[in-house]
């Protein structure tokens, strides 16, 4: 008997684990999941993240605010604008700079275009996970329209860098409005068509209705954010609860659903896309006049500020501490995917079929490289501890071994 067979024999008696990742066709980014299965039923699930740790928080401490703005946009390729906005808001608030209303409107529009392209991307990925490849191809073709808008207007398809300290660098011109409006109207029709497919297609409903159910109370308790929370009836949206740049001038409508299952997550995201399209068209036609930038000092006064932005995946949280120099003293990022993992691992996964796992996983729209940080859960109330650099280094070496 070979060594492998022996290992397998010794473990298979206890439980049968199907490993997903770090390299797996279903995963677009590396992550590791272990599903313990009995036949097709998943009885336990564990998760291991941290394959794409890049040390961005540390790198941010060695750059000035303008450089960090471009650095944090690279945390996530999909929600680059949200990261930039969340960071630069902190810097602007610390410096006491109020950006002009026109810049606010441009930021809000860019944020909504980003939401559109992120949700369309997710729609494709999630339907591919369930084996509905036609939806995947259709939605990604429509996403190309959004990408074209981004490219034509902001110059880039992914890291479009609309923000600069104190405002934005691109203006919404009348030509842009004329060019974009028909495209958005076409997209709205497409989104209505997808909503129809999701609600009526029998085979698709078989795979999504009553799958991955997580109740309102539990969602709230686990701290889920974004569309994942809103699909469980938790009205949590940073654009409404703590309106920031743009959304304070032009309020946006919240989309919630009480059905708490996978289908609700599809419905919420698609309805959000429709809302976004209406919002963009509305704001473009009511653009405030004025400057695009306000003067921003190079050195930011000492202080601390926290800002939250509603990224496509949920609440994106930034904490920035300044010590009065050109560089930030500390930048702390907490992304939306990290808050939502709990809903998958803790309760939803168990008891489902293995075949539902890809859809349940992609149901929270995970973004792996956003997640890479150390998490330690302390059970007691007052047992906070400070780790030294050596301890952290040792932990890191052991973790990656």
Partner 1 sequence: MSAPHPIICLLLFPGGLMLLASSLFYEWLERKLVARFQNRIGPKVYQPVADMLKLIVKEEVIPKSVNRTLFILLPIFGFACVMTASLYVPMFGVDAAIGMSGDLVITMYLLSAMSVCLGMAGANSLNRFAVVGATRTLTQLFAYEAPFMLSLLLPAIAAQSWNIATITKYAEGKTWMMLTLPIGFVISIIGVMGKLEIPPFDAPEAESEIVSGALSEYSGRGLALFRIAKNVELVVCLSLIAAFYLGGIGNPLLFILKTFVLLAVIALLQSSLTRFRIDQTIGLWWQVGAILSLAQLMVLIMVKVL
Of 124, 129, 246, 314, the residue at the interface with partner 1 (CB under 8 A) is 129
Measured over the CA atoms of residue 340, residue 346, residue 347 and residue 348, the dihedral's sign is positive
3-class SS of residue 257: coil
Given its phi and psi angles, is residue 330 left (phi above 0), alpha (psi -120 to 50 degrees) or beta? Answer: beta
d(CA 199, CA 193): 10
Region of 19-27, 147-155, 170-178, 217-225 interacting with partner 1 (CB under 8 A) = 19-27
In eight-state DSSP terms, residue 46 is E
Residues 138-157 that bind partner 1 (CB under 8 A): 138, 141
Query: What contacts 370, CB < 8 A, 6 or more positions away?
Result: 75, 76, 313, 335, 336, 337, 338
Residue 285 interacting with partner 1 (CB under 8 A): no
Residue 355 interacting with partner 1 (CB under 8 A): yes
Q: By rule CB under 8 A, what count of residues binds partner 1?
A: 35
Nearer to partner 1, 122 or 154 (CB): 122
Q: Give the start-end residues of each E strand in 29-180.
A: 32-38, 41-48, 163-164, 167-168
Residue 18 interacting with partner 1 (CB under 8 A): yes
Of 62, 206, 241, 253, the residue at the interface with partner 1 (CB under 8 A) is 206
Region of 89-97, 127-135, 171-179, 267-275 interacting with partner 1 (CB under 8 A) = 127-135
Report whether the peptide linkage leading into residue 22 is cis, meaning its omega lies within 30 degrees of zero: yes
Residue 10 interacting with partner 1 (CB under 8 A): no
Q: What is the H or E stretch that residue 311 is in?
A: strand 303-311
Residue 65 interacting with partner 1 (CB under 8 A): no
Q: How far is the CB of 222 from partner 1 (least distance, A)?
A: 25
Region of 132-140, 281-289, 311-319, 326-334 interacting with partner 1 (CB under 8 A) = 132-140
Q: Where are the alpha helices (DSSP H) in 231-312?
A: 238-241, 262-285
Residue 70 interacting with partner 1 (CB under 8 A): no
Compute CA distances 280 → 63, 77, 79, 169, whole Å. 34, 21, 17, 18
Residue 207 interacting with partner 1 (CB under 8 A): yes
Q: How far is the CB of 211 from partner 1 (least distance, A)?
A: 10
Q: Please list, residue by residue across 374-396, b when 16 or more beta carbons sit within 10 angstroms of its beta carbon and e when fewer do.
A: eeeeeeeeeeeeeeeeeeeeeee
Region of 55-63, 111-119, 247-255, 351-359 interacting with partner 1 (CB under 8 A) = 351-359
Of 5, 173, 210, 325, the residue at the interface with partner 1 (CB under 8 A) is 5
What residues make contact with partner 1 under the rule CB under 8 A?
Answer: 2, 4-5, 8, 16-19, 24-26, 37, 40, 127-134, 137-138, 141, 201, 203-204, 206-207, 353-358
């Amino acid at each position: 008997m070979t060594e492998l067979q022996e290992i397998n024999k010794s473990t298979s008696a206890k439980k049968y684990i199907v490993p997903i990742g770090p390299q797996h066709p279903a995963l677009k980014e590396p992550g590791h999941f272990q599903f313990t299965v009995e036949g097709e039923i998943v009885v336990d699930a564990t998760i291991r993240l941290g394959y794409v740790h890049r040390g961005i928080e540390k790198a941010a401490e060695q750059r000035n605010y303008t450089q960090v703005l471009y650095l944090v946009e690279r945390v996530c390729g999909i929600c680059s604008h949200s990261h930039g906005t969340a960071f630069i808001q902190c810097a602007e608030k610390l410096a006491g700079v109020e950006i002009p209303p026109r810049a606010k409107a441009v930021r809000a529009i860019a944020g909504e275009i980003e939401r559109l392209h992120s949700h369309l991307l997710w729609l494709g990925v999630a339907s591919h996970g369930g084996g509905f490849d036609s939806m995947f191809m259709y939605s990604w073709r429509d996403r190309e329209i959004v990408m074209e808008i981004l490219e034509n207007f902001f110059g880039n398809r992914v890291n479009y860098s609309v923000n600069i300290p104190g405002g934005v660098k691109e203006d919404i011109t009348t030509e842009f409005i004329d060019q974009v409006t028909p495209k958005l109207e076409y997209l709205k029709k497409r989104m209505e068509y997808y909503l129809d497919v999701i609600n009526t297609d029998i085979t698709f409903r078989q795979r999504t209705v009553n799958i991955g159910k997580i109740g309102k109370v539990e969602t709230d308790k686990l701290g889920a954010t974004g569309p994942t929370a809103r699909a469980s009836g938790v009205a949590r949206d940073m654009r409404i609860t703590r309106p920031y740049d743009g959304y304070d001038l032009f309020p946006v409508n919240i989309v919630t659903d009480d059905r708490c299952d996978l289908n609700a997550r599809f419905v919420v995201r698609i309805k959000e896309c429709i809302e976004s399209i209406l919002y963009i068209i509305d704001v473009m036609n009511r653009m405030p006049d004025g400057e695009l930038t306000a003067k921003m000092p190079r050195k930011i006064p000492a202080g601390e500020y926290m800002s939250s932005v509603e990224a496509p995946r949920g609440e994106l949280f930034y904490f920035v501490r300044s010590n009065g120099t050109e560089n930030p003293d500390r930048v702390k990022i907490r992304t939306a995917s990290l808050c939502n993992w709990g809903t998958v691992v803790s309760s939803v996964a168990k008891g489902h079929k293995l075949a539902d796992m890809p859809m349940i996983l992609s149901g929270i729209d995970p973004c792996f490289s956003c997640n890479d940080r150390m998490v330690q859960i302390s059970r007691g109330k007052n047992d906070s501890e400070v780790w030294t650099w050596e301890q952290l280094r040792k932990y890191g070496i052991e973790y990656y071994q």
